Amino acid sequence: MDLTFDIANFFAGMLVLTSFMLLYQDRIMGLINVFTLHAIALSLAVGWQAWAQDRPHLWVTAGIAVFFKALVIPFSLRSIVKKLRIHRDVEIVGGIGITMLVGIGLVALSLVVMLPATTAADPLAREDLAFALSVVLLGLLMMVTRRNAVSQIIGFMSLENGLILAAAGAEGMPLVVEISVAFSVLIAFIVIGVFLFRIRERFDTVDVGELDNARRDRQ
Amino acid sequence: MPLTMALIGVAMLLAVAVRAALRSSSETIVRETYGASAAICAFLFLCAVAPRGADVVTTALPLGLPWMGAHFKLDVLSAFFLAVVDLGGAAAGFYAIGYGAHEKDPGRILPFFPAFLAGMNLVVLADDAYVFLVSWEFMSLTSWAMVMSHHHEAENRRAAFIYLVMASFGTLALLMCFGLLAGSEGGYQFSQMRSAAHAAWVPGLALALALLGAGSKAGLAPLHIWLPLAHPAAPSHVSGLMSGVMTKVAIYGFVRIVFDLLGPPAYWWSLPLLTLGATTAVLGILFANIETDLKKLLAYSTIENIGIIFVALGLALAFKSQNDGVAAALAFTAALYHVFNHSLFKTLLFFGAGAVLGATGERDIEKLGGLVHTMPRTAVLFLGGAMALSALPPLNGFVSEWMMFQAVLLSPSLAPWSLKLLIPAVGVALALAAALCAGCFVRAYGVAFLGRARSPAALAAKETDAYSLGAMWWLLGLCVLAGVFPGFFIDTISPAARAFVGGQMATQGSVPWLSIAPIAESRSSYNGLVVLIFMAASTWAAIWIAHRFGSAGVRRGPAWDCGFPDSSPASQYGGSSFAQPVRRVFSDTVFVAREHLDMPLTGETRPARFGVEIEDRVVTRIYDPIEKSVVWLAATLDKFHLLSIQGYLSLVFGALVALLLGVAIWH
Amino acid sequence: MTYLALAAAYALLALPFGAAIALAFVEDHRQAAHVNVAVAAAVFACAVLLLFVRPPAGDFVFVDDLNNVFIVLSTFIGATTAGYSASYIQHEIDAGKLKSGYIRFYHAMYQALMFSMNLGLLANNIGLMWVAVELATLTTVLMVGIYRTPEALEAAWKYFILGSVGIALALFGTILVYMSAQPLLGDGYEAMKWTSLMARAAEFSPHLLNVAFVFLMLGFGTKVGLVPMHAWLPDAHAEGPTPISAVLSGLLLNVALYAVLRYKMLLSVNPAAIAPGPMMVTLGLASLLFAGLMLYGRKDVKRLFAYSSIEHMGIITFAFGMGGPLANFAGLLHMAMHSLTKSAIFFAVGHITQAKGTQRIEDIRGLTQSHPMLGWSLVVGVAAIAGLPPLGVFTSEFLVVTSTFARQPLLAIPLALGLLIAFGALLLRLTSLAFGEATEDKGEIEASYAPIVIHLALVLLAGLWLPPQLAAWFQNVAKLLG
Amino acid sequence: MALIYGLAAQGFQMLLVLALAPMLIGFTRKIKARLTRRRGASPLQPYRDIIRLFRKDVVVAENASWVFRFAPYVIFATTWVAAALVPTFATGLPFSWAADLIAIVALLGSARFFLALAGMDIGTSFGGIGSSREMMFAALAEPATIMIVFVVSLTAGTTQLSEIVAHFVPHLELRVSIGLALVALLIVAIAENGRVPVDNPATHLELTMVHEAMILEYSGRHLALIEWASALKLLLYVSLIICIFAPWGVAAPGSDAIGMLRGVGVFVAKLLVAGACLAIFETSTAKMRVFRVPDFLGAALMLGLLGTLLVFVSRSL
């Protein structure tokens, strides 16, 4: 039991760590690679949960994570980047140092919020949940601080990963939710893709700032 | 039974409104609508004066809030105001049969006119907060539509805008007031509010809110600014109703809340009423004195009279708080009597102004003059109204002011020192307002109707139609009656006084020779009839003597021109020149009047120029800052409309972190 | 009897679902429009049927007084809007703004939206409800972008990003609720059923519920359009086709609000949990004041009324946050009235923009002169939305303000202030839109007045007389909401 | 019988004031002339003027309307009625309760109203100047008058002149408030009757005149009535001052003819004294600029207000 707890803890921690790496990364290709790592970490965590809780359907979730998030999405993102000739480095609002500090603050916050909240839940869930929350917050932070569509999408994905971690941690949560997560990720990806292409037709770059300039004096 | 009849009458008014909206194309619709409105109002007036079996009649309809229903009530107070409303309504409808022909686009007036009347009637009949406020705001909405009827002039649009914003401000204040009285359980019926036990601070706050709410509708300073804008913008029969009647409905609301629902008063309640009332009276009449737009002038004088009424109500409150029933009854009766009188002559005057507007197309008195020759009947009627308004005996305006002075004379008996010091000053304000009012109407009448025509339009004016004249004659006749037989009217009002201030004046019917003596004959008495006869007799005597013993010959000759032959009409004393002394004496106190005189040196050929600009301190010091701050805030927040997506996301992010922190701290 | 009820309940889902698939293949847009109207009407009929017969709560679908209110309302507006969109779309095609392929897509999506909203309202499972709300979001995203103009795409993009963040937050909240329920109700669906959750909520871990409510409030609040998550709403309303603006304001916001209310009930059952009221009151007031001030700077007529939707959602959230029988009743009534009025306004505005060929407020003047019917119905609609009697919105505002001032005078003052500010802005714009010299028309329209008139007539009726049954029903729901 | 007797007395008073008014004017002028080392016309000159004017035809400006021609009669009548209501030689006359002090002020107000209208009717600038200044002065004089009324009637406990006299005859003790009221009333009387220093009844210099400017266009019987009315007004104010502040020797209600006659004698004597005082005052001061008059009247208003406050407060002590 103790060991399982430690290992689950370790995987979740790894996920948080990779989130920080995402925050740190300022090259698009690098970003995509780190995200692959993130997805793998997620699948490991979920897999471990599946083994520990002995709930086979979690294996499915882990598989989905590996397949979609670690293979399909990074691949297609790379192709988008190539196709649209997005300049390769990512402009970060406020610089890396500050974002890292804010990120640490967020992790602290999620621990403060979650640990007392989950005294009732079994220890395996506790840490997981706290880490999941911090992954979610870090993903949101990334979406806020990146001024480039692809990196925003990645931020959003990492946020979803946090959700899956939480869902996996939730004992006996029916399959409905995982499917829906995957489902939403899928939709998200498709729609974003559609939009990127649409936008490509009209803009030279997918920098969201350009999108905002589409606004003339329309109010 | 009368209540049921009244409600049926209101329903009929609404039906007329709907019909007018549906058949706006037909030619006869104008006459039909106004005629029907007038008839129904007359019917409602009968319902008001009809003897009620019980003193108070109530009924409830399954409308409004479902668990409560709509409650209606006809007691002495609502009966009195119902009579006032429908007297004015009938006159306005009758007047409009003729005047309505001037309307270019009657479809924008017709449906709203009966609806407006219905709204005012319902306010007076309402017996729960919901019905009251619905009809109150409905009244504002319909009148707004009619103010908007001449929507091509930008100033009318602005006037309508300001009007409705102020109106809904008042409604919100009343909403809070009633919410306070109803309590968290929502006892919205007036009966529940009366019986409810309130915390000590509740009545004071409710009084303040009632002052804001009813005051903004009645035109109490500094909430009066919409009135001189909106009243002139509407067609004249509507202006007459708004100024003469709607403001009275506001007074009704105030009386209903403060004298009825709030329970026994504390003496200090009267302080804000007295101060605000006196300020309003003087402020209003001063602006009327420098105004050159005839209808605006009338609107300002309405503000003055509202102030006077509030002063009387304040006195009544003060006396009531000291349990001096008779004095309170005197003040209260004076207030209601002035309400009645003002509704008569202010409507009459607006009708007169409307007749002038219809005949000349001018509202600016500087472009009028000599109308006494071209519109003789209107001139007589307007003069009558002006005399009544200037409180000249033996007309009705004087009687109510006389009663107010009597009430002031009783006030030394009041114990609180603040009142002892305040009331004399208020008395001065009343007298000042009365005197300025006379000056104001000498100016208005003298410039608009006397002298020589200042514009071709005024020269070519034709007498107005028979319906309008009929309505005005009817109103003037009532003014004379109310002035000559005041005792009768006072006796009809005094039950209301008994019911609401717990005292009653001596029955005036029993005083010999139709005279009135509020307290005792040895103390003060007035007899309009004798004064009238006295004046008529001596006038006749003077005429007779002069013609009998002196020469009766009359020769026409040119006026003394001081050596400048055939001077142009422009050389007459105009409105602004007449106002010059008032401007000089009172400027820099309430308004700032800047006069620029550009006098050419000798030998220069350019003409001399003179201009006056008036700054209304109330507007520049109170309303402009508010407007500016709202605009500034809106402009500042507009940045949030154009953020980048990151911006928006960071807002969400911030909100999330903040709430999580909140929860963390709450743990 | 119960079979009939079940049939009705499932028809609410099956009919739109099937129609969505079918409409994807209907070539002729006229036929499509007719099918659309027919199905929507049938769905409304089923919803009305549910008023009389009620199915037993199933594992996935249940009907109680609360969601019944929402179902009837949304199916009704869905039907009228379908009727309106027929004439609107016709004009768009004649004007060459939309190609027929997109029309097919449009109709299919319309029904898909109906399906997802009904699902969200009927769902007895918090996961299912979440799925449904997100589905509704995604369909509307696609519809907002349908014009393919840069503005439309940008609006859809913004809507999508903010929406999916909302999705994520809501999901996290849902998971937390499940986790708080799981120790008591055991694994599996039982711990996600509303009916069982409500039964045991008192014993859940309050801390988890608190954190969960934060996420749910923000997640679903994004769909409600509460400040500061509102940013998607004005653009989505302004750039999409007008029927969709009407549906967004009239329905989608309500569905999201419904979710918030459910969770609020859950928390208010639990004594140890944080009171959800203050959070809702704060967000509501923020939305009211912010949107009220934003109304002044608007130049685009559809954005104007979109911000007014934010304002009113703020009022409604405020009312439910205050709680108590009166305020809850007022909140429900205000929600119904706002949906009817706002959709009516958007109907009118849609035709107006088609007639004038612009959405800029400066270029639209004197409507009561040039288009009396549209102009005056706009006047009535704005009067209603601004809370003037005898129209229904006044009734609810009356109840909100009075009951609030009696309980929390200090909260009532910003409320009244916000109402006044918004009132001023709306009246200012209305004055310039409906009065003054009329501007010339760009296009001929044959407008469909029926939906506008029906909605406004209902609003007027509600202001004058509420059917006792309806009132009793609302009061019952108000009790449920606590 | 008593009623007839009373009515007779009332009628006698009306005739009396009518008869005495020009005499007061003439007497005052005579004294003034004497004081300025002139012989001056006889005190009966005003009667002669009035009769002469009555005999002449009326010349009316082309533009004049019925208001212009009707005004003199109304002015005369109202002033006459007002003057007839002030107790002169006897109190408690039958009509004395028909109108109290406030009503008398208002009657004078309506006379002024018509005079100002008549000034506006011709459509020249003089009339306008006169009317606007007259109304301006009145706007300050009337509140002052009302304040004086307050002081008096609060001290006497009534606004009924007969009662006031009846109250003051036994106990008119020297009170500050009464003194203030007296001064204020004197100022108001001077202003209202257009005497020096407010206005010069003898001048016809356009820019300075007020009362004369309004009646510039009048002639013949109209002018006669107006002159007579202004004489009545002066008499009214004088007898008002007398009956409030020197109420002695007034015939009590229900006294016989002898008492009445004694009252008349006393009244005439008082009038002569008052006229003399007025003449002395007028010769000893110079006319002030028009726009200093408001300050002059404002002083009266303040005095009146002060007096009223004193009364209010003293009541409570």
Over the stretch D54-91, which tens digit does the pLDDT of each residue have? 999 999 998 899 999 999 999 999 999 999 889 888 88
Q: What angle do helix axes C409-434 and B624-637 make, rounded to 10 degrees? A: 90
Closest CB to A173 among C153, C175, C183:
C175
The 10 Å CB-count burial string (b at 16+, else e) for B73-108 is bbbbbbbbbbbbbbbbbbbbbbbbbbbbebbeebbb
Q: What is the pLDDT of residue A106?
A: 92
Reported ipTM: 0.91
The Cα–Cα gap between D309 and D287 comes to: 31
Largest CA distance in chain C: 69
Sort out which chain B residues have CB atoms less than 8 A from C389's CB and list them: 133-135, 137-138, 141
Q: What is the pLDDT of residue A64?
A: 77
B partners (3+ CB pairs within 8 A) are A, C, D
More confident residue, B333 or B643: B333
Q: What is the pLDDT of residue A181?
A: 63
- Contact between B559 and D143 using a beta-carbon 8 Å cutoff: no
pLDDT tens digits along B45-62: 999 998 877 777 888 888
More confident residue, A205 or C241: C241
Q: Is A102 on the interface with B (CB under 8 A)?
A: no
Q: Is C18 on the interface with B (CB under 8 A)?
A: no
Residue B386 has pLDDT above 60, yes or no: yes
| Total domains in the fold of chain A | 1
Q: What is the pLDDT of residue A200?
A: 45
φ, ψ dihedrals at A92, nearest 5°: -110, 125
Closest CB to C401 among B62, B165, B175:
B175
Q: Is A183 on the interface with C (CB under 8 A)?
A: yes
- Cβ-Cβ contacts under 8 Å between A and B: the total is 43
Has residue B354 been placed in a domain? no
Has residue C356 been placed in a domain? yes
Closest CB to A120 among C134, C183, C238:
C183
Has residue B179 been placed in a domain? yes
The Cα–Cα gap between D165 and D155 comes to: 12
Q: Stretch C77-86: mean pLDDT, rounded?
A: 94
Q: What is the pLDDT of residue A206?
A: 46
Contact residues, B window 332-351, toward C, CB-based 8 Å cutoff = none
Distance in Å, alpha carbon of B80 to nearest chain C alpha carbon: 26
Kindly write down the DSSP assignment for every residue of C193-245, as one continuous string.
BHHHHHHHGGGS-HHHHHHHHHHHHHHHHHHHT-TTS-THHHHHHHHS-HHHH
- pLDDT level of residue A205 (50, 70, 90 thresholds): very low
CA torsion D193-D199-D201-D205 (nearest 10°) is -150
Residue A215 has pLDDT above 60, yes or no: no
Sort out which chain C residues have CB atoms less than 8 A from B129's CB and list them: 402
As given in the structure block, the two tokens for residue C417 are: 């202030």
- Contact between B656 and A209 using a beta-carbon 8 Å cutoff: no
Q: Are strands B554-557 and B609-616 parallel, antiparallel or unpaired?
A: unpaired
Of the candidates B469, B449, B422, B109, which has an alpha carbon nearest to the alpha carbon of residue B269?
B422
Sort out which chain A residues have CB atoms less than 8 A from C186's CB and list them: 172
- Contact between C130 and A180 using a beta-carbon 8 Å cutoff: yes
Q: Is A173 on the interface with C (CB under 8 A)?
A: yes
Sort out which chain B residues have CB atoms less than 8 A from D224's CB and list them: 546, 550
Closest CB to B434 among D54, D142, D225:
D142
Residue D236 has pLDDT above 90, yes or no: yes
Has residue C343 been placed in a domain? yes
The Cα–Cα gap between C379 and C373 comes to: 10
Residue A148 has pLDDT above 90, yes or no: no
Q: What is the pLDDT of residue A202?
A: 37
**Does the reported pTM lie above 0.95?**
no
| Total domains in the fold of chain B | 2
Closest CB to C394 among B137, B183, B635:
B137
Angle at the Cα of C152 from the Cα atoms of C146 and C155, rounded to 5 degrees: 120
Contact (CB, 8 A) for B526 and B402: yes
Contact (CB, 8 A) for C62 and C142: no
Question: Containing domain of residue C414, as a range?
Answer: 277-482
- Contact between B392 and D157 using a beta-carbon 8 Å cutoff: no
Q: What is the pLDDT of residue D265?
A: 92
What is the C-alpha R_g of chain B?
Answer: 27
Contact (CB, 8 A) for B529 and B395: no
Has residue A129 been placed in a domain? yes
- Contact between B664 and A141 using a beta-carbon 8 Å cutoff: no
- Contact between B175 and C402 using a beta-carbon 8 Å cutoff: yes
Average pLDDT, chain C: 90
Has residue B229 been placed in a domain? yes
Domain C-terminal end among B187, B214, B248: B248
pLDDT tens digits along C168-179: 899 899 988 988
Sort out which chain C residues have CB atoms less than 8 A from A188's CB and list them: 164
Q: Is A191 on the interface with C (CB under 8 A)?
A: yes
Residue A53 has pLDDT above 50, yes or no: yes
Residue A189 has pLDDT above 90, yes or no: no
The alpha carbon dihedral of A156, A158, A159, A163 has a sign of: positive
Of the candidates C298, C99, C326, C421, which has an alpha carbon nearest to the alpha carbon of residue B130?
C326
pLDDT tens digits along C268-292: 888 888 888 889 999 999 999 999 9
Has residue A218 been placed in a domain? no
Residue from B308, B531, B564, B582 to probe the interface with D (highest D Cβ count within 10 Å): B531
Average pLDDT, chain D: 88
Q: Stretch B405-427: mean pLDDT, rounded?
A: 89
Average pLDDT, chain B: 91
DSSP structure class, residue D249: T
pLDDT tens digits along D150-209: 999 888 888 888 888 888 887 666 678 888 999 999 999 999 888 888 887 776 666 667
Q: Do at least 3 CB pairs under 8 Å connect D with A?
A: no
Residue B660 has pLDDT above 80, yes or no: yes
Q: What is the pLDDT of residue D33?
A: 93
DSSP structure class, residue B265: P
Percent of chain A with pLDDT over 90: 13
Question: Containing domain of residue A55, as a range?
Answer: 2-213
Q: What is the pLDDT of residue D208?
A: 66
- Give the nearest chain A residue to C142 (CA atoms): A191
As given in the structure block, the two tokens for residue C310 are: 């934010």
Residue B554 has pLDDT above 70, yes or no: yes
Has residue C225 been placed in a domain? no
Contacts of B572 (CB under 8 A, 6+ apart): B369, B451, B452, B454, D123, D124, D125, D128
More confident residue, A147 or C404: C404
Sort out which chain C residues have CB atoms less than 8 A from A219's CB and list them: 297-300, 303
Sort out which chain B residues have CB atoms less than 8 A from C238's CB and list them: none
Highest-confidence segment of A151-165, B194-208, B469-483 = B469-483
Q: Is B184 on the interface with A (CB under 8 A)?
A: no
Q: 3-state DSSP call for residue B72?
A: strand
Q: Which of the residue ranges B270-274, B463-467, D258-262 would you say has the lowest mean pLDDT?
A: D258-262
Highest-confidence segment of A67-81, B271-285, C87-101 = B271-285
Q: What is the pLDDT of residue B14?
A: 96
Q: Which of the residue ranges B414-418, B614-618, B639-643, D102-106 would you say has the lowest mean pLDDT?
A: B639-643
Q: Stretch B140-152: mean pLDDT, rounded?
A: 94
pLDDT tens digits along C318-376: 999 998 889 999 999 999 999 999 999 999 999 999 998 889 999 999 999 989 999 99
Of the candidates B660, A171, B186, which has an alpha carbon nearest to the alpha carbon of residue C217?
B660
Sort out which chain B residues have CB atoms less than 8 A from A146's CB and list them: 646
Contact residues, C window 220-249, toward A, CB-based 8 Å cutoff = 238
Q: Kindly report the three-state secondary structure assignment for every residue of B172-217.
A: HHHHHHHHHHHCCCCCCEHHHHHHCCCCCCHHHHHHHHHHHHHHHH
DSSP structure class, residue B578: H
Q: What is the pLDDT of residue C148?
A: 80
- Contact between D139 and B571 using a beta-carbon 8 Å cutoff: no
- Contact between B569 and D154 using a beta-carbon 8 Å cutoff: no
- In angstroms, the Cα distances linking C459 to A207, C118, C300, C394 are 46, 23, 26, 10
A partners (3+ CB pairs within 8 A) are B, C
Q: What is the pLDDT of residue B522?
A: 78
Residue from C167, C190, C299 to probe the interface with A (highest A Cβ count within 10 Å): C167
- Contact between B67 and C228 using a beta-carbon 8 Å cutoff: no
Contact (CB, 8 A) for C418 and B174: no
Has residue A140 been placed in a domain? yes
Q: Is B622 on the interface with A (CB under 8 A)?
A: no
Has residue B117 been placed in a domain? yes
As given in the structure block, the two tokens for residue B291 are: 């105004």
| Total domains in the fold of chain C | 1
Question: Containing domain of residue B77, as a range?
Answer: 1-248
The Cα–Cα gap between B606 and B621 comes to: 38
Residue A216 has pLDDT above 50, yes or no: no
The 10 Å CB-count burial string (b at 16+, else e) for C176-187 is bbbbbbbbbbee
User: Up-side HSE of residue A68: CA atoms within 13 Å toward CB?
Assistant: 22
Q: Which of the residue ranges A110-124, A139-153, B262-276 would you say has the lowest mean pLDDT?
A: A110-124
- Contact between A156 and C164 using a beta-carbon 8 Å cutoff: yes
Q: Which of the residue ranges B169-173, B195-199, B353-357, C170-174 would you say has the lowest mean pLDDT?
A: B195-199
- pLDDT level of residue A203 (50, 70, 90 thresholds): very low
Average pLDDT, chain A: 75
Domain C-terminal end among B212, B232, B248: B248
DSSP structure class, residue D97: G
Of the candidates B540, B639, B661, which has an alpha carbon nearest to the alpha carbon of residue C293?
B639
Contact residues, B window 92-131, toward C, CB-based 8 Å cutoff = 129-130
Has residue C32 been placed in a domain? no
- Contact between B657 and A146 using a beta-carbon 8 Å cutoff: no
More confident residue, B241 or D98: B241
Contact (CB, 8 A) for A22 and A154: yes
Q: Stretch D244-259: mean pLDDT, rounded?
A: 83
More confident residue, B87 or C190: B87
Distance in Å, alpha carbon of C14 to nearest chain B alpha carbon: 36
Has residue C384 been placed in a domain? yes
Q: Stretch A137-146: mean pLDDT, rounded?
A: 88
Distance in Å, alpha carbon of C332 to nearest chain A alpha carbon: 31
Has residue C381 been placed in a domain? yes
Residue from A112, A194, A195, A215 to probe the interface with C (highest C Cβ count within 10 Å): A195
- In angstroms, the Cα distances linking A85 to A89, D38, D157 are 12, 118, 102
H or E stretch at B609: strand B609-616
C partners (3+ CB pairs within 8 A) are A, B
Q: Which of the residue ranges A93-97, C127-131, C160-164, D8-12 would you say has the lowest mean pLDDT?
A: A93-97
CA B129 to chain centre: 23
Of the candidates B666, B538, B616, B654, which has an alpha carbon nearest to the alpha carbon of residue B284?
B616
Q: What is the pLDDT of residue A168?
A: 81
Q: What is the pLDDT of residue A204?
A: 36
The Cα–Cα gap between C130 and C262 comes to: 12
Closest CB to B581 among D107, D136, D143:
D136
Has residue B164 been placed in a domain? yes
As given in the structure block, the two tokens for residue D266 are: 């006393």
Q: Which of the residue ranges B262-276, B604-618, C414-428 would you say has the lowest mean pLDDT?
A: B604-618
Closest CB to A144 among B642, B646, B663:
B646
- Contact between C160 and A167 using a beta-carbon 8 Å cutoff: no
